[in-house]
């Protein structure tokens, strides 16, 4: 009987699609993510489909976990009901040991259904709420796995111990261990121990979901990265602007207040330097996980998938956050590596995080549950020129809607009774700087895209 492949899922938070050196960013070093790119297939046009929640990561992670699209989620993605089968839950029912390490943004009951083990779990607080990811990386509250889902509402424990935990994030400076290190240590321990565990000895496959908080702000990282990434060596993006040209309906959200208005070039360069430094640090931790997988002897039979939950503006279009429908906030890195995945390949088909679930099912030789709405990307692995999706419908709350079809994207805004439309030719204008909505030559294209409403 053919051995089922293991599955290693690595997710980051706030990591934009263009932050890997192997995919063209010459201002950042990501040698370990580059290992995945060289050893597998990178989907260069993967998207988060948006959010109806200011915390974009909540619906984004729910879409990945359930394979469902934005308006098919329950409670804006904060709860995964039993009737919406989740990815780890599905593989657990098929004989996998399912483990979770790191961030969790959904409810406790879903977590208990999904995972048979885990460590250093971040995210539970009173009732079924969740901790803000923006309270600092050095002293995070984490939990050990509890099969009954009974987690201390006061925040679990700190690794290393910190008592009492009362410091605001502004005072959580370097010291102790960074969240990326805490999570990585737990993942390395799991991978090293699994072959010798009772389930490993019997050949039971594993699914490990390693979900980082980084590179979410505050952009804290070890001091040794400061010299490698500084504002003087970072270039501003072509679509840098001191202000967004109009009210997009979310200009005063927390993310947008991380920097003063109008945006100053030198301040944005510093934000970018910190962003790149933190991504480089996470990359280093990813390398430790990949090394542990190699040392375990299981790498050849392990499907590895790496992605982020969404992107981030960091000064593009005069914005700082991800509460918008521009590519810098919607597009994410998505890389598959392992059995059945061609090496050093790029696929440009439009795809979404909801497609991860059915893709892993097909690669692992499993059926896909009927509740999944995503599409398997396996045909595009076999033929990278194949188009899996012809169109993407995108949304942010009740103020922004977008349609991406082929080379064009239309975005519509409805804010305080004002309707604004943008049309971009992403082939000629990948940074979305030239609005073609009022150009008579593109009237047919604008009408063909239409206005997407849920």
Task: Name the maximum alpha-carbon separation found in the chain.
Answer: 68
**Residue range 187-235, pLDDT digits in tens:** 999 999 999 898 988 889 999 999 999 999 999 999 899 989 999 999 9
Residues above pLDDT 70, as percent of the chain: 91
Res 136: pLDDT: 81
What lies within 8 Å, CB to CB, of 258 at 6+ separation is 217, 271, 320, 321
pLDDT of 8 higher than 60: yes
Asked: is 398-454 a CATH 3.10.20.600 domain? The reply is no
Residues above pLDDT 90, as percent of the chain: 83
**Residue range 48-85, pLDDT digits in tens:** 999 998 999 999 999 999 999 999 999 999 999 999 99
For residue 59, give the nearest of 314, 450, 322, 320 by alpha carbon: 322
User: b vs e for 257-277, b when ≥16 Cβ sit within 10 Å of the residue's Cβ?
Assistant: eebeeebeeeebbbbbbbbbb
- Domain 6-389: CATH superfamily is Alkaline Phosphatase, subunit A (3.40.720.10)
Q: How confident is the model at residue 170 (pLDDT cuts 50, 70, 90)?
A: very low
Q: Where does the chain hold its CATH 3.40.720.10 domain(s)?
A: 6-389
């Amino acid at each position: 009987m053919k051995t089922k492949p293991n599955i290693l899922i690595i997710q980051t938070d706030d990591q934009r699609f263009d932050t890997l050196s192997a995919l063209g960013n010459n201002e950042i070093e990501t040698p370990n993510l580059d290992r995945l790119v060289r050893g597998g297939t990178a989907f260069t046009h993967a998207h988060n489909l948006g959010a109806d929640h200011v915390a974009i990561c909540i619906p984004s992670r729910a879409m990945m976990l359930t394979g469902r699209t934005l308006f098919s989620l329950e409670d804006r993605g904060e709860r995964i009901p039993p009737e919406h089968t989740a990815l780890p839950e599905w593989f657990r029912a098929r004989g996998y040991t399912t483990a979770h390490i790191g961030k969790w943004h959904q409810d406790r009951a879903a977590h208990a259904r999904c995972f048979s083990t885990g460590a250093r779990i971040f995210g539970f607080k009173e009732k079924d709420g969740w901790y803000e990811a923006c309270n600092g990386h050095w002293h995070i509250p984490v939990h050990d796995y509890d099969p009954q889902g009974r987690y201390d509402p006061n925040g679990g424990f700190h690794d290393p111990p910190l008592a009492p935990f009362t410091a605001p994030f502004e005072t959580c400076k370097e010291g102790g261990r960074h969240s990326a290190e805490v999570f990585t240590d737990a993942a390395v321990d799991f991978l090293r121990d699994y072959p010798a565990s009772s389930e490993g000895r019997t050949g039971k496959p594993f699914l490990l979901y390693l979900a980082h908080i980084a590179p979410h702000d505050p952009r804290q990282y070890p001091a040794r990265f400061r010299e490698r990434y500084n504002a003087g060596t970072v270039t501003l993006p072509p679509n840098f602007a001191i202000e967004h040209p109009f009210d997009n309906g979310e200009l005063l959200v927390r993310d947008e207040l991380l920097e003063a208005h109008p945006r100053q070039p030198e301040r944005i360069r510093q934000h970018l330097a910190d962003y790149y430094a933190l991504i480089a640090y996470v990359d280093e931790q990813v390398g430790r996980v990949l090394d542990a997988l190699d040392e375990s002897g299981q790498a050849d039979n392990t499907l590895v998938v790496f992605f982020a939950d969404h992107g981030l503006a960091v000064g593009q279009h005069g914005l700082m956050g991800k509460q918008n429908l521009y590519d810098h906030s919607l597009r994410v890195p998505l890389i598959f590596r392992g059995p059945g995945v061609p090496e050093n390949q790029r696929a440009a088909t439009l795809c979404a995080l909801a497609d991860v679930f059915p893709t892993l099912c097909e690669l692992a030789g499993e059926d896909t549950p009927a509740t999944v709405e995503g599409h398997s990307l396996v045909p595009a692995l076999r033929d990278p020129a194949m188009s899996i999706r012809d169109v993407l419908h995108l949304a942010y709350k009740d103020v922004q809607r977008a349609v991406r079809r082929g080379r064009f994207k239309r975005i519509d805004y409805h804010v305080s009774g004002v309707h604004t439309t943008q049309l971009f030719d992403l082939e000629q204008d990948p940074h979305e700087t030239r609005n073609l909505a009022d150009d008579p030559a593109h009237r047919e294209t604008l009408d063909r895209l239409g206005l997407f409403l849920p």
